[in-house]
Structure 1
Amino acid sequence: MRHTQTCVILNAGSGKRKAGEMVPRINRAFAEAGRRFDLRLVRNGSDITREAQRAIADGAQTIIAAGGDGTIAAVASVVAGTDVAFGALPLGTFNYFTRSIGLPQELEPAIHALVDGTAAPARLGLVNDRVFINNASLGAYPAILKRRESIYARWGRSRVAAYWSVFTTLVQLRTRLTVRATVDGEVHHLRSPLIFVSFNPYQLDQLGLEGADAIRDGKFAIFVAPDGTRREMLGAALRLAGRLSDEARDFRLITGRDVQLDTARPRQLVACDGELERMRTPLRFEIREGGINLIRPRNPDPEV
């Protein structure tokens, strides 16, 4: 490393806060915590993985991803399988991952919690060998993300803008998925506008959805939306926003550890933690025990 064995990779495009504001606050907080570090500012999301690889090559023993869940997952995918300790700072819109480990959501307390935290092996979720920390989905949600980026570009990043992207996409959605799903050896033939594979129990708890306990037990929670009308999909989205979703009406829940989804297309657009990628099919989901050395706060924040 140029200065130290701790590296912070800051995504300048994450969330609503500007890098010019974040850099001095990060510098000050680490100085107060007595930890020297190397700060690497990334202005293009496509450079995050490359910068993480450089940090490891330079001898980093701890790498901290500062950004939203997409940034965190990108850095985690590089750190996974190494002896490098991995931490995350919450600079995104929803920050489900950092909330799930009890990390304070204000920047300075989060930095102090990481510096004082301990690293231990943690399980990872992967789809086609790509790490995801919250969810991976196909169908309507990738379409929503496409619309969301155009809304963000015009109106800025916010939860209101995120929810508006859901509404405007579902109003116009026409496509349906035909999927052969194999879950722990059992075959399911599915037709749905949306299949959502979750690996973050905190996110499900916050959305009022079933399946969190299955994830805590080391499984995926797979949500399959019914093949309904646009009006029915909008109703389901509104109930989800109000934490009023009902499994019998709004989705089918399948849980399992070994998951394969085949759409009969050679490539399928998949949304992983808010990032879009076309992946070869069948999509293979796996859980890797002890896949990453994750830094958790010694005293998780009960308020997040």
Structure 2
Amino acid sequence: MTDTTLPPDAPLYIVLNAGSGASEKEERRAAIEEVLTAAGRRFFLHLVEDSDKLDEAAIAHAGQACANGGILVAAGGDGTINAVARQAVKHGCPFGALPQGTFNYFGRTHGISEDLSEAVHGLLAARIRPVQIGSVNGRIFLVNASIGLYPKLLEEREHDKKQYGRSRVVAFLSALKTLFQPHRRLRLTLEAEDRTLHLRTHTLFVGNNRLQMKQVGLTEQAPEVADGELAAVAPKPAGKLGMLGIVLNGVLGRLGDTGDVVTFGFRRMTVRTPFYGRRRIKAAVDGEVLTLSTPLHFEALDGRLRLLVPPASRPEASP
């Protein structure tokens, strides 16, 4: 799809997640305000102190952006960016991202700088590019959605980060700890267009981000998500040591070499779970753990998000 230009005076409606500390919060606010004030750009910045009020802020600012020909902007991690992007899609307004999380897969895939000042400068010269998103039971995701062990891993990771701080090392060590805890295997039936698969696995992962696939070593096995497909990834059943091996191979970028992972591409897929009366399951959607009703319906939504990308970015460029 072709990029389009924006009016140079379109106001920016920015939802900023406060982050983990007062100094960090003020530094982020100051960096945004300094660049936009110097550029003479009209903007409205809303600082969200309580994460429970993030959706409320996103809804309010999406409505204002839509009514005033403005741009809705999210500043925070992938979860924050998802929450605000969800309202941009719903209201039909352009969306900008200022990535400030641990991994920032979405921003890095689209060439958006992790340096806050640089990312704000990028917004000022950005063009609109329609990009693909995924959905599960109507809930959009920009990076991934999953069920099984991964949601449990995320819950444990958030708990550990509150105690030991936010870093990739803490995230990895927390994952290892979770792997050695008791957990059950899922019995799943996957119905995706021309195929039906019956699987037993610890986790089902659905990805919409080639950078993440490349980093774990699934570039050749997983389909290119830019062509309108999502990627389904499911490790084959394994014991605790086997799961540890799978994780380590993922960290080393060699997951596709093990032969222990089922991968395929799809545009629409239904996932059925024989829970014998249980109709709800925990799912992780861009890092947020939700409870969804089964069966799960996944779909690739091509060009649904009108994303602001910096001038040097290429459409869905391989990292």
Question: TM-score surpassing 0.5?
Answer: yes
Other-structure match for 1:140: 149
Kept in 2: contact 1:222–1:254 (CA 8 A): yes
State how 1:203-222 maps to structure 2 within 5 Å.
203-210=212-219, 211=221, 213-222=223-232
State how 1:7-86 maps to structure 2 within 5 Å.
7-13=13-19, 18-58=24-64, 59-60=67-68, 61-86=70-95
Q: 1: distance between equivalents of 2:260 and 2:184?
A: 18
Report the identity percentage.
36
Aligned-residue Cα RMSD (Å) equals 2.1
- Total equivalences in the alignment: 301
Other-structure match for 1:278: 291
Shift of 1:13: 2.7
Kept in 2: contact 1:120–1:293 (CA 8 A): yes
Kept in 1: contact 2:223–2:230 (CA 8 A): no
State how 1:185-196 maps to structure 2 within 5 Å.
185-196=194-205
Other-structure match for 1:167: 176
Other-structure match for 1:224: 234
Other-structure match for 1:91: 100
Q: 1: distance between equivalents of 2:127 and 2:188?
A: 41
Other-structure match for 1:287: 300
CA 1:15–1:205 in structure 2 vs 1: closer, same or farther (change >3 Å)?
farther
* Partner residue of 1:258 out of 238, 243, 268: 268
CA 1:244–1:155 in structure 2 vs 1: closer, same or farther (change >3 Å)?
same
Other-structure match for 1:104: 113
Shift of 1:248: 4.8
Q: Are 1:241 and 2:254 matched, yes or no?
A: no
Shift of 1:156: 0.7
Q: Are 1:178 and 2:190 matched, yes or no?
A: no
Q: 2: distance between equivalents of 1:134 and 1:202?
A: 10
The unaligned stretches of length 5 or more in structure 2 are 1-9
Amino acid at match of 2:177: T
Kept in 2: contact 1:15–1:68 (CA 8 A): no
CA 1:291–1:201 in structure 2 vs 1: closer, same or farther (change >3 Å)?
same
Q: 2: distance between equivalents of 1:185 and 1:15?
A: 50
Q: 2: distance between equivalents of 1:254 and 1:245?
A: 14
Q: 2: distance between equivalents of 1:137 and 1:16?
A: 33
Shift of 1:249: 2.6
Q: 2: distance between equivalents of 1:17 and 1:268?
A: 38
Shift of 1:83: 3.3
The unaligned stretches of length 5 or more in structure 1 are none
Shifted more, 214-223 versus 52-61: the winner is 52-61
Q: 2: distance between equivalents of 1:260 and 1:165?
A: 31
Deviations for 1:238-277, whole angstroms, at most 9, x for unmatched residues? Answer: 1111112135533111211111111134011000111000
Kept in 2: contact 1:137–1:196 (CA 8 A): yes
Amino acid at match of 1:29: V
* Partner residue of 2:210 out of 201, 211, 222: 201
Q: 2: distance between equivalents of 1:13 and 1:236?
A: 32
